[in-house]
Amino acid sequence: MDLFFYDFEFHLLHIERKFISANWTVKYNGVGTFEAVFAVTSPVVPLLMEKKYVVVRQGRYAAIVTGKMLDQQFTVYGRTPNWILSKRTVPKFPKQTEDVTTLVQWCAAGFANTAASCTDNMKKCGFYDLFANGTFVFNSDIGNTEKIDFWRDTPNLLEKVVSECLARIGAGHEVLFDVEQKKWVLYLHQGTELPLIISESNKNAYDSKMNVDCLDYYTCGWYEKQSTSEESGSTGSAAENEWVFLKGDETKTGIYRWECTLTGTSESEAKSDLEAKKWNSEIQIMAHGLEHGVDYELGDIVRCQISKGSYKTTVQKRITGVTLKYEQGGISQQPELSDLEDLEKLKEEEDGNSL
């Protein structure tokens, strides 16, 4: 499939039909990658070695060219267009209660339609409205969702804020390089649950395996709470930290009570750490014969089934990415399958939703 090269203003620069390989990794709610290899005699070499701000397209996929390496061959590196969101910064902002679609628009547009105090903060920081000059537009196919509380205590890259906000409801985003409309489109979308079972018995999977272990499993633990001078009653000296016990699963007692020390200096941080120390059960499976855009879209939920001997189990997975390889021998692709709980769990961070 041909490679089309454009500048940032959608002018076609070159069409390349001869390349050694082109590999894509596209993400549901993150930045993907691109890598293509050409012969040093390719006309792409002088074009890209001299030209900056270039976008490459191959079918439905696009990437911003971020690097090149010229040696015995010519290798081009790129990131999917939503990488451009990492070139914008969102200053900290107070708690906003809205649906995720509105929140993402507000973050990208500098909170122009929210509380005056929030808007003033953006102006003081010199925040630039992503949609100000019309080059960037917004679109979403996410339906009505419940409102959530969302804020940031420190400045963050726009791409990080967008992906974290959407992860709260298991949604995703991409930036479309729309050549026909000559627009960059910040597009939000959400997958659906498909009646698709991926399994070796259905002839659409291979190399399935299941790993189970309890090495990092604990039922309760202790964390070191950061104390203040006021809390300890001390004056003019450093306060001593207090070790606090987090009960966790109280149904586990005696020989079944497994304790650990937890990271973090607050109850919420310690709780998040304890929840991560679970009995690990992981199914790994390689899909076969499934085509992105035909059998599934990114974000869709499918069932993965493993059957070995007399044991059989099925779990739900979300398709969070796809890897595609274009070579002279043809095209191959492999979806990335992730546990639902890993995608949708809100992770507390020092520079995230913490008060």
Q: Read off the pLDDT of each residue in 186-214 and give the average, rounded to a whole number.
A: 96
pLDDT value of residue 130: 85
- In the chain, the amino acid numbered 195 is P
Q: Read off the pLDDT of each residue in 60-80 and give the average, rounded to a whole number.
A: 98
Residues 6+ apart with CB under 8 A from 240: 227, 232
Task: Decide if pLDDT at 127 tops 80.
Answer: no
What are the sequence ranges of the domains in the chain?
3-79, 85-190, 193-213+280-319, 220-276
- Top-level CATH class of 85-190? alpha beta
User: pLDDT category, 355, cuts 50, 70, 90?
Assistant: very low
* Residue 309 CB neighbour total at 10 angstroms: 5
Beta carbons of 54 and 5 less than 8 angstroms apart: yes
Task: Decide if pLDDT at 222 tops 50.
Answer: yes
Residues in the chain: 355
Task: Decide if pLDDT at 73 tops 50.
Answer: yes
Task: Decide if pLDDT at 346 tops 80.
Answer: no
pLDDT value of residue 92: 86
pLDDT value of residue 122: 55
Q: Cα-flanking dihedrals φ and ψ of residue 181, to 5°?
A: -90, -10
Please give the helix or strand (H or E) that residue 96 lies within, else none. Answer: strand 93-98
Q: How far apart are CA 255 and CA 331, in angstroms?
A: 54
User: pLDDT category, 128, cuts 50, 70, 90?
Assistant: low
pLDDT value of residue 133: 85
- In the chain, the amino acid numbered 46 is P
Q: How far apart are CA 279 and CA 218, in angstroms?
A: 8
pLDDT value of residue 116: 44
Of residues 89, 100, 177, the one with CA closest to residue 135: 177
